[in-house]
């Protein structure tokens, strides 16, 4: 039969996956009914999203606060040069690509900063949460929210050629704070900005995360790694460090959700290695981007699409989102960025 004479069916799409023994029986159906929230759609996040959508997850909510830039393309596999030219938010660009990969999956892009005020609603209906973030603050927040809501989640981190993966099942396994009790001092740990990151390392770490996710979503939690997986793709090493719950852990041991309840997240956040600061207004605003565009036309070059507005002025690049959030590039000083925001967008 010529290949184009046969209608494409779901069983064709997942045929190779179903042949894998643990995916026999009801695994594919379980996956197809599963809802996942992905937080962060950069290096790890694009790989994770692609794995989950190609494998046939039921619904994927993609949360990301940023837009696509040229230096992302080295490792963020869902994006291309046109996305950079179009100033597309990562969540929207990823959703557009994924719709062409597997139209059977409900992909829900959310252009948001995940913070204590919205994290619980973003994960409330999810069966699993995936970490595609690049900072400790958001990971501690995810850990708190997932423990409180009893949602399993899979941490992943990658710097240089090294990476780590940990699947957390609330009440059963060690949590992220059992492993990292408190946020490291700024500047004390290597980041992608100081140590760089290799695309293949990202791919390996995200694939390990995705494999843990598929185990959790198909009822194979018994196959999860028994602790923290570390990998070094340059030195060719992989190891699993067994981890037990820590009774004195502030989060899973004592039930304190410091990052969820403490309002630890400020209104101005320096973005890792970007020479940029995110400004979040105290109360969510509804900004009329076309009106703002008209007002700023005399200030400097303004570009706008359906998701954001960008102004170049006084050596800063200011990107404004409809909810009032902005990313100010050209400084890593929160006070300076807040002043720029107040001047051009309004307090
Ligand atoms: Zn813990």
Span from the CA of 168 to the centroid of ligand 1 (angstroms):
9
Kindly indicate the confidence band of residue 2, based on its pLDDT and cuts at 50, 70 and 90.
very low
Report whether 120 contacts 149 (CB < 8 A): yes
Distance in Å, CA 181 to ligand 1 centroid: 8
- Block residue for tokens 């492993």: 179
Q: pLDDT at position 5, please?
A: 44
**Helices 199-217 & 43-55, crossing angle to 10 degrees?**
40
CA separation, residue 103 to residues 89, 148, 186, 210, 326 (Å): 20, 33, 42, 20, 32
Please say if the pLDDT value at position 212 is more than 60: yes
d(CA 59, CA 35): 5
**Integer-rounded Cα radius of gyration of the chain:** 21
Q: Which two tokens stand for residue 201?
A: 């390392």
Q: Are 329 and 261 in contact, with CB atoms under 8 Å apart?
A: no
Rounded to the nearest whole angstrom, what is the distance from the C-alpha of residue 194 to the centroid of ligand 1? 29
pLDDT per position as a tens digit, 282-302: 777 789 999 999 999 888 999
Percent of the chain with pLDDT over 90: 76
Q: Determine the average pLDDT of the residues in 316-335.
A: 92
* Residue 103 contacts residue 124 (beta carbons within 8 Å): no
**Tokens 């100033």 belong to residue:** 87
Measured in angstroms, how far is the CA atom of residue 251 from the centroid of ligand 1?
Answer: 5
Separation of CA 238 and ligand 1 centre (Å): 24
Residues 92-140 have pLDDT tens digits of 999 999 999 999 999 999 999 999 999 999 999 999 999 999 888 899 9
What's the CA-to-centroid distance between 228 and ligand 1, angstroms? 13
Measure 342 CA to ligand 1 centroid, in angstroms: 40
Residue 290: count other Cβ atoms within 10 Å of its Cβ.
9
CA of 121 to the centre of ligand 1 (A): 22
With 90 as the cut, is the pLDDT of residue 312 above it?
A: yes
Q: What is the mean pLDDT of the chain?
A: 91
Q: Which residues are CB-contacts of 2 (< 8 A; sequence separation ≥ 6)?
A: none
pLDDT-derived band of residue 55, with 50, 70 and 90 as boundaries? Answer: very high
pTM: 0.90
Q: How far is the CA of 178 from the centre of ligand 1 (A)?
A: 4
Distance (angstroms) between ligand 1 centre and the Cα of 338 equals 35
* Distance between Cα 250 and ligand 1 center (Å): 7
CB distance 44 to 16 below 8 Å: no
CA of 111 to the centre of ligand 1 (A): 30
Q: What is the dihedral of CA 143, 153, 165, 118, to 10 degrees?
A: -50
Q: In the chain, what percentage of residues exceed pLDDT 70?
A: 94
Report CA(160)–ligand 1 centroid distance (Å): 27
Best CA proximity match to 78, nearest among 162, 188, 218, 203: 203
According to the model, what pLDDT value does residue 347 have?
55
> How many Å lie between the centroid of ligand 1 and the Cα of residue 212?
19
Of the candidate ranges 55-64, 109-118, 176-185, the one whose mean pLDDT is the lowest: 176-185
**Per-residue confidence band for 7, with pLDDT thresholds at 50, 70 and 90:** low
Choice between 345 and 249, residue whose per-residue pLDDT is larger: 249
Q: How far is the CA of 136 from the centre of ligand 1 (A)?
A: 15
Distance 167 CA to ligand 1 centre (A): 12
Q: Measured between alpha carbons, how far is 332 from 307 in angstroms, rounded to an integer?
A: 24
For residue 71, give the DSSP letter: G
Separation of CA 332 and ligand 1 centre (Å): 32
Give 199 Cα–ligand 1 centroid separation in angstroms.
30
């Amino acid at each position: 039969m010529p290949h184009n004479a046969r209608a494409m069916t779901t069983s064709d799409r997942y045929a190779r996956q179903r042949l894998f023994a643990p995916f026999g029986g009801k695994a594919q159906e379980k996956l197809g009914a599963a809802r996942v929230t992905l937080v962060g759609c950069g290096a790890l996040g694009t790989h994770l999203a692609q794995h989950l959508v190609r494998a046939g997850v039921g619904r994927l909510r993609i949360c990301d606060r940023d837009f696509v830039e040229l230096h992302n393309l080295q490792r963020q596999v869902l994006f291309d040069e046109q996305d950079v030219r179009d100033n597309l938010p990562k969540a929207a660009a990823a959703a557009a690509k994924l719709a062409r990969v597997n139209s059977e999956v409900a992909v829900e892009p959310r252009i948001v900063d995940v913070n204590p005020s919205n994290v619980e609603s973003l994960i409330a209906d999810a069966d699993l949460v995936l970490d595609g973030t690049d900072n400790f603050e958001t990971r501690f927040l995810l850990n708190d929210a997932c423990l409180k809501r009893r949602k399993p989640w899979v941490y992943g981190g990658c710097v240089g050629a090294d990476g780590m993966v940990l699947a957390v099942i609330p009440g059963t396994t060690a949590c992220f704070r059992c492993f990292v009790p408190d946020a490291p001092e700024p500047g004390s740990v290597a980041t992608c900005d100081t140590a760089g990151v290799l695309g293949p390392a990202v791919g390996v770490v995200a694939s390990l995360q995705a494999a843990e996710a598929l185990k959790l979503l198909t009822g194979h939690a018994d196959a999860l790694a028994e602790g923290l997986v570390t990998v070094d793709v340059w030195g060719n090493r992989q190891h699993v460090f067994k981890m037990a719950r820590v009774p004195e852990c502030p989060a899973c041991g004592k039930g304190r959700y410091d990052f969820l309840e403490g309002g630890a997240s400020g209104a101005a956040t320096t973005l890792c290695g970007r020479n940029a600061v995110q400004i979040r207004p105290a109360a969510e605003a509804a900004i009329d981007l076309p009106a703002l565009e008209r007002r700023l036309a005399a200030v400097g070059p303004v570009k706008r699409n359906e998701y954001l507005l960008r102004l170049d002025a006084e050596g800063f690049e200011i990107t404004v989102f409809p909810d009032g959030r902005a990313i100010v590039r050209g400084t890593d000083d929160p006070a300076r960025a807040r002043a720029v925001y107040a001047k051009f967008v309004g307090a």
